[in-house]
Structure 1
């Protein structure tokens, strides 16, 4: 459990951010007004970027999202235990470290949610395909551009409907 423990229920929090961390990060946010917005943002390094630029851009993006849609009161992210490759693992670890440090500095509680938990909640299958996740989001009335956005939507819906795993 992180230092910043989550409130008793996700439903008691107004602004919740859900993230599928990666070079193409999927995001979904339920604002203080109850409106859910989602998308995908790229943190692919530019040709002349140093190794840490993607993490600085991620920090700036989080700060701007918090300023425009927040304040963010809780963060849920996909907790990945196995990666297809070393590079993906390094990017995920760097983004997760950046996210958790950013949240700690602001006193925002955060929680990782296992991939199987998210897939099971969204589709009824813990090993659902990327397309199944997109289809599940569409069945709920969302229009994800890709599987990253669909996963972020699924994480947010899990947090809201399971009260952050407590329901």
Structure 2
């Protein structure tokens, strides 16, 4: 399912060990999914970041060019490990965006949830239901978040 036409190719991304993504093309086309960056048994400590950078490069090749990346800006983590992992993803995303001259926009979680469901504290099930209600084939809550973020981004860019 596409969306409103926009003058930009936008990557919306819910960064984390399981990263939800939605690539909205200026012609209205949509590519999206969920990607795991969980370390494999024999991976070195940097493999997660190398795979994430390769994933970003693949999305850019898929789009031809990305004008903006909107990402879920998490301002509070309850677990230390989750905070460290998120920070690593955010740092690599920032570096990739700068290296490729792509505008990066962080959107706080409550803003995305409110835009998608009308409630800034909507739970995962509500987010999945909201995106399915708009006709998307949602694979998991990370994917739902990315789809909701893309919808928000397209409104901002229009």
Query: Which bracket does the TM-score occupy, shorter chain normalised?
Result: over 0.9
In structure 1, what is the equivalent of residue 106 of structure 2? 112
Which residue in the other structure is 1:23 paired with? 17
1:11 equivalenced with 2:9 (yes/no): no
How far did 1:88 drift? 1.0
CA distance in 2, matches of 1:152, 1:68: 17
CA distance in 2, matches of 1:120, 1:80: 15
Structure 1 unaligned spans of 5+: 1-9
Runs of 4+ that moved beyond 2 A: none
Q: TM-score, normalised by structure 1?
A: 0.88
RMSD over equivalenced CA pairs, Å: 1.4
Alignment size in residue pairs: 154
The partner residue of 1:101 within 92, 95, 104 is 95
Cα displacement (A) at 1:11: 3.3
CA distance in 2, matches of 1:31, 1:153: 13
The answer as to whether partners of 2:7 and 2:26 remain within 8 angstroms in 1 is no
The answer to whether structure 1 residue 157 and structure 2 residue 151 are counterparts is yes
Contact 2:74 2:108 in 1 (8 A): yes
Q: Which residue is 1:7 aligned to?
A: none
Counting only pairs closer than 5 Å after superposition, residues 69-80 of structure 1 correspond to structure 2 as 69-80=63-74
SS in 2 for 1:12: coil
TM-score (norm 2): 0.93
Q: Please tell me whether the aligned partners of residues 32 and 70 of structure 1 are also in contact (alpha carbons under 8 angstroms).
A: no
The structural deviation recorded for 1:86 is 1.2
2:21 alignment partner, SS class? strand
